[in-house]
Amino acid sequence: MKVHKEGRRILFVTILVLLALNLALYQFNRGAVLFNRIFAGVSVVAFLALLQFFRSPFRHLFTHEDLLLAPADGKVVVIEDVYEPEYFDDMRKQISVFMSPINVHVTRNPISGMVKYFKYHPGNYLVAWHPKSSTQNERTTVVVESDAGPLVLFRQIAGAMARRIVWYVNEGDEVNQGEEFGFIKFGSRVDLFVPIDADVKVELGQKVKGGETVICQLKV
């Protein structure tokens, strides 16, 4: 397992601040031994929690042009037919994966193809499971023309804790299934919009792994 590049600077600054605070307490608050030890313990726990958030574990990726892979680690919280107004302007099947703060927060291309559309939307920070978070929260929208043919739309959506979305794709890019397309800091969700006739392979409440779990099969 390695530390993701989005967390290296944060982790470096955090450890410097915590070390400085603990050294200051040791130097100027020597009489409060118990407090200093508790603070040191809390510092270690806080740093380890931040470290696990930015972990980027190795994944056994595989590719298949008509299979849609999970774009992130988390739990399936939505499987329903909805109207998608931003790009398709028609009915699509929505599948959403909620990412808690303890999940790996790398987001991965669910399928290979060409990016036909990309847009960043500033917005609110409703809790990620709120029905309106998909259209009102800060988010990115990516539409990929898959190698299998059908168009697939996916969104990174910020949540109540997430305050920064990072993306690595732009219109016209060729993307490969399973490779990173971005990162969401501190908990959120990813929505997928696929053709209505897609064969869903997951269930509500199921835990999935980014780049490994098959979400659905496209009709080609």
Active-site amino acid positions? 188
pLDDT bin (cut points 50, 70, 90) of residue 3 is: confident
Q: Which residues of 48-84 are buried (b: 16+ CB within 10 A; e: fewer)?
A: eebeebbebeebeeeeeebbbbbbbbbbbbbbeeeeb
This prediction has a pTM of 0.79
- Choice between 110 and 27, residue whose per-residue pLDDT is larger: 110
Handedness of CA 40, 43, 45, 51 (dihedral sign): negative
Which residues share a beta bridge with 144?
Answer: 115, 152
pLDDT bin (cut points 50, 70, 90) of residue 40 is: confident
CA neighbours closer than 13 Å in the CB half-sphere of residue 82: 18
Q: Count the Cβ atoms, other than its own, within 10 Å of residue 44.
A: 12
- Choice between 8 and 151, residue whose per-residue pLDDT is larger: 151
pLDDT of amino acid 211 = 87
Which residues share a beta bridge with 152?
Answer: 144
Condensed to tens digits (0 to 9), the pLDDT of residues 191-218 reads 999 999 999 999 999 999 988 899 999 9
Query: What are the DSSP calls for the chain, one per residue?
Result: -EE-HHHHHHHHHHHHHHHHHHHHHHHH-TT-HHHHHHHHHHHHHHHHHHHHHTEE--------TTEEEPSSSEEEEEEEEEEETTTT-EEEEEEEEEE-TTS--EEE-SS-EEEEEEEEE--B---TTSTTHHHHBSEEEEEEEETTS-EEEEEEEE-SS--EEEE---TT-EE-TTSEEEEEESSEEEEEEE-TT-EE---TT-EE-TTTSEEEE---
Q: Phi and psi dihedrals of 2, rounded to 5?
A: -125, 165
pLDDT of amino acid 122 = 84
C-alpha angle with apex 184: 143 to 150, nearest 5 degrees?
Answer: 15
Cβ(208)–Cβ(70) under 8 Å? yes
- For residue 1, pLDDT over 70 is answered with no
Condensed to tens digits (0 to 9), the pLDDT of residues 139-172 reads 899 999 988 889 999 999 886 555 578 888 889 9
Condensed to tens digits (0 to 9), the pLDDT of residues 45-62 reads 888 877 777 777 777 777
Condensed to tens digits (0 to 9), the pLDDT of residues 90-137 reads 999 999 999 887 887 888 999 999 999 999 988 666 665 555 656 667
